[in-house]
Amino acid sequence: MNIEENTRRAITLKTSPYCHLTDEDSFIEVTQWSNGEGYDVHISNKGSDQTFSITDGEFEALTVAIRYRS
């Protein structure tokens, strides 16, 4: 049996200071993958939860796309 133990870095923050469409209980939690190559993202907004995973490269491409000015 091969068991590996690791510690994953996670950050949680309230979204209400950043988005007027959320309530006081809404939050986002970002957890870095143990291999350091991406993130698991959990968003809770007014009782509706979303979870997705994104690699560093996908995150970089998303950031470029959002900031793109034509």
Beta-bridged to residue 53, according to DSSP, are 40
Tell me the pTM.
Answer: 0.84
pLDDT of residue 70: 64
Does residue 9 contact residue 2 with C-beta atoms inside 8 Å?
no
Tell me the backbone φ, ψ of residue 56, rounded to 5 degrees. Answer: -60, -45
pLDDT tens per residue, the chain (70 residues)? 899 888 899 999 999 999 999 999 999 999 999 999 999 999 999 989 999 999 999 999 999 999 997 6
